[in-house]
A = this chain, B = another copy of it.
Amino acid sequence: MAMPAQAAALAVPGNMGDVRRSNLALVMGRIARQPAGVHLTRAHVAATTGLTKASVSSLVVALLDAGLVRETGLNPQGERGRPGVGLELNPARAVMGMEINVDYIAAGVTDLSGTLLLREVRERDNRDSEPGPVVAALAALAASLRVEATGRGIQIVGGGLAVPGLVDPARSMVLAAPNLGWEGVPLDLAALLPGSPLGVALFNEANAAALAEIARRPAGDADFLFVSGEVGVGGGLVIGAELFTGPAGHAGEVGHVVVDPGGTRCSCGGTGCLETVAGQDAIFAAAGMAGLPVTRSAALAALLSALDSGDPGARAAVDRAGRALGVALASTARVVNVGSVVLGGHFAVLDQWLRAPLLASLEKYAPGKFTPGQLTVTAVGDPGALLGAAGSVVRSLVEAPHLLQA
């Protein structure tokens, strides 16, 4: 719920409890947004949120009781007047991010400020795998991290799982993950974090990575498209610092924008999709690297050295991918009106080779829409999906602190 000046018609009556929850979120958000280590007092919260000191005091008590916030010592530096009691996010609460990908599973723990405390990646070939054992292995990994966290006095209150495919979060289902060979797979998310108050949320990998980017961008720069380059090409659309997933939950899928109407068949059944030109397998094949190193990171390294040594096939393949990406981004920019793009996956790795053809293509198909500065590379990198999945739990907690109230 949102409560301010503009009222939107809703299906549910509002009451005073909603005011309380809204203001609780306001105070929680203020505390969460405070830079780490900078003293923040009730008085300052009141002054910056517009709430009265009396209300803030009452709301902070609720947050303390819920264990979301902690009091630190008094203001250390000598200022006039009574020193205020410091407030910060409770470091004894944390969330778990988890990821299932083609070559590995991973789990990590972040505190409520988004700092990564623990992380563990287990290599594992999940191609054409059975979902059951993969999820069981991830549950075991998560359990071990949880034990480690508990040993440090840290409670895991919830988690998020990122999967490389189309998901239906509402039904906890993986609708289609071609690279895992999963289709219509229901997941027992609760088993990943048994008994955690907030449970486990499910995300598409590119969407989770996009969420992780949000926190790492300058404030106000809250609209962008994250493009994830893996075997497939995924996308996460962020508008107003919110993930925009569209009516059916799969918006931002820039990998299947048509970039070549006369092109080749895509695994999705379509024709000339971006993925058929700029996906990892497509680039490797076009560069004449078919049947080369098994792992993707090795293949990428091989491609990079081929590019460095001036291999014409490799250069042409990347050039073509860059131009195609430009076509897709130009169209996307028109339809959803975003002017900033963040490149992830192999697009980030290949940035120096990709950038020139991509910018040229953007200028040709959407002149004036993009400046080079609006085309950036992921600030998070590999653990992006994991951090984003974890961060989403933090975010839901900041927006609805009452979820953890007694």
Please report A residues at the B interface, Cβ cutoff 8 Å: 1-16, 18-19, 21-26, 28-29, 49-51, 55, 222-223, 235, 237, 239-240, 245-261, 268-272, 327-328, 330-332, 334-339, 364-368, 398-400, 402
CA distance A400 to B5 in the complex (A): 9
Contact A7 B18 (CB under 8 A): yes
A9: which of B29, B258, B259 is its contact (CB, 8 Å)? B29
CA distance A400 to B239 in the complex (A): 24
CA distance A327 to B400 in the complex (A): 42
Known: A3-B10, A270-B365. 9 other contacts (CB 8 A): A1-B5, A6-B400, A9-B398, A13-B26, A13-B50, A222-B247, A237-B335, A257-B334, A328-B331
Nearest B residue (CB) for A272: B365
CA distance A332 to B271 in the complex (A): 15
Task: Show 9 A/B contacts (Cβ-Cβ < 8 Å), sorted by A.
Answer: A10-B25, A13-B22, A16-B16, A235-B335, A256-B334, A269-B367, A271-B365, A328-B331, A331-B332
CA distance A257 to B51 in the complex (A): 46
Contact A399 B271 (CB under 8 A): no
Contact B7 A338 (CB under 8 A): no
Contact B8 A2 (CB under 8 A): yes
Q: Which residues of B contact A15 (CB under 8 A)?
A: 19
Contact B9 A337 (CB under 8 A): no
